Chains A and B, each alone.
Chain A
């Protein structure tokens, strides 16, 4: 069974750095074509793509947030980590990780499996 699960702090203070972990099972990020991405959704708002890492350790970022984001993977632990610096209340959102299983061609970058998400609130 393929699953993804997000974990991290529920509350962070403004200016702090957020670190989120996506722990997955049922697939390996060392398998050619596999990718894991982070997507967020502020309360009542639309989905926003943040970052992606692929099997070859190539990394891609949202153009508007790339200076604040870092994505990395630990293949041995089946984990992908996202850090976001200088958090602000507007970053309050549910953060999801999701899988792309056929990422050879970026035209196939659709998300076939998602984690349940983790709500992060930014407040002092």
Chain B
């Protein structure tokens, strides 16, 4: 199985900050990396697919980059509604699909 490791596990930031979350794969996954946002008590929401493609309806302050084993999700200017947990998911090897352990983004 491909292991996905996110860092940091938790992060405190302020409204307006630029924030970067990292996801590392245990082997190369090309650009087959997806990002989700999950708020408490809610289902995950797709933000970014194929490492850098913004899902329809997602604000442009969210961006993704990377290829191979190292990926980043960047929020350019944090908004109050962005405080949530973020997960990466690889779709390079689908037997099985694997997620990262999550990064909790909290208000400072």
Which residues of A approach B to under 8 Å, CB–CB?
37, 46-49, 52, 60-64, 96, 98, 106-117
- Chain A residues whose CB sits within 8 angstroms of the CB of B30 once the complex forms: 107
Interface pairs (26), CB distance under 8 Å: A46-B100, A47-B87, A47-B89, A49-B96, A49-B97, A49-B98, A49-B99, A52-B97, A60-B94, A60-B96, A96-B43, A98-B43, A106-B91, A107-B91, A107-B92, A108-B50, A108-B91, A109-B91, A110-B46, A110-B50, A110-B89, A111-B36, A111-B89, A112-B46, A112-B49, A112-B55
- Chain A residues whose CB sits within 8 angstroms of the CB of B45 once the complex forms: 114
- Chain A residues whose CB sits within 8 angstroms of the CB of B44 once the complex forms: 47, 96, 111, 114
Q: Tally the A-B contacts, defined by beta carbons under 8 Å.
A: 67
* Contact between B94 and A48, CB atoms less than 8 A apart: no
Residues of B within 8 A of A (CB-CB), count: 26
Q: Is the interface of B mostly helix, strand, loop or mixed?
A: loop
Known contacts A46-B99, A46-B101, A109-B97; A63 and B43 CB within 8 A of each other: no
Which residues of B approach A to under 8 Å, CB–CB?
1, 30, 32, 34, 36, 42-46, 49-50, 55, 87, 89, 91-92, 94-102
Q: Which residue of B lies closest to A51 (CB)?
A: B96
- Chain B residues whose CB sits within 8 angstroms of the CB of A110 once the complex forms: 34, 46, 49-50, 89, 91
* Contact between A117 and B1, CB atoms less than 8 A apart: no
* Contact between A48 and B99, CB atoms less than 8 A apart: yes
CB distance from B40 to the nearest CB of A (A): 10
Known contacts A46-B101, A96-B43; A63 and B96 CB within 8 A of each other: yes
- Chain B residues whose CB sits within 8 angstroms of the CB of A114 once the complex forms: 43-45
Q: Which residue of A lies closest to B32 (CB)?
A: A107
CB distance from B18 to the nearest CB of A (A): 25
- Chain A residues whose CB sits within 8 angstroms of the CB of B32 once the complex forms: 107
- Chain A residues whose CB sits within 8 angstroms of the CB of B97 once the complex forms: 37, 49, 52, 109
CB distance from B13 to the nearest CB of A (A): 21
Q: 9 closest pairs, A vs B, by CB?
A: A114-B43, A110-B34, A49-B97, A109-B91, A106-B94, A47-B99, A110-B49, A46-B101, A107-B32
